[in-house]
Amino acid sequence: MALKNCFVIGLSGTTNSGKTTLSSMLCKNLPNSSNICQDHYFYGPNDPRVRRDEDGKQNWEELQAMDMDQMMKDVHSWIKENKNSLERSYLIIEGFLIFNHRPLASLFDKKFFIKIDRETCAERRRVVKDIICLMVFADINLNFTFAFFFVMISKRTYNPPDYPGYFENKVWPMYLKNLEDIQDQTDIEYLPETNDLQGMFHYLQKIITGL
């Protein structure tokens, strides 16, 4: 029986939980790895496919706000290209609703979900500048011989930008609803809130390379 060498990893979680940074760190340090970010599939701000709630405001916290058909095509394209690889290949898929889309959820070999509390989430959402640390050097054996942390101060923006009350009225209530909708997926590993992204990165890397 041929060994499996193609792995699809799901990294989800609360908004602003660090999943995008961790996805980038994993992709830079796992061999033959690629990543797909669900945020890249949002429809445009004026797209009529984005549903408006009773208050007339667009709801960006649900699957209907994204082109999931195109995302699935891109995922299947990667799987087709790598399923017969002689070397281990990894696809890191990151996004806050990747497990809510059942056809996509069925493709994962491992699922992770990072939780943070409401207060932390709200504060990070308000913060204008983020510090993003990326580990960019590792040796071929995946043992770090030199690590350089590039600290980038970047402005986090949302398009369209959050209107007053968006977090309280949309982001957090929809997060709780979306989280409830995936409780039947018992194969999701929930990860606790942490400021030690390097430590969490090492943990995820160990689990993934051990698949």
pLDDT digits (tens, 9 = 90+) for 153-174: 334 456 678 888 999 999 999 9
Sheet holding 33-37, edge to edge: 33-37, 89-94, 6-13, 110-114, 188-191
The CATH number of 6-209 is 3.40.50.300
DSSP-derived secondary structure for 132-200 = EEEE----TTS--S---EEEEEEE---SSPPPTTHIIIIIHHHHHHHHHTTTT-TTEEEE---S-HHHH
The model's pTM is 0.84
Helices 19-29 and 197-209 cross at an angle (nearest 10°) of: 50
State how far the Cα of 70 lies from the Cα of 130, in Å rounded to an integer.
30
Residues designated catalytic: 39
Q: What is the pLDDT of residue 141?
A: 41
Q: What is the pLDDT of residue 155?
A: 41
Q: Which residues of the chain have pLDDT under 50?
A: 1, 128-156
State how far the Cα of 92 lies from the Cα of 20, in Å rounded to an integer.
10
The H or E element containing residue 68 is helix 68-82
Q: What is the pLDDT of residue 38?
A: 98
Domain ranges of the chain: 6-209
Cβ contacts of residue 11 below 8 Å, gap of 6+? Answer: 19, 22, 23, 26, 92, 93, 94, 98, 112, 114, 204
Q: Most distant CA pair in the chain: distance in Å?
A: 57
Q: What is the pLDDT of residue 72?
A: 99
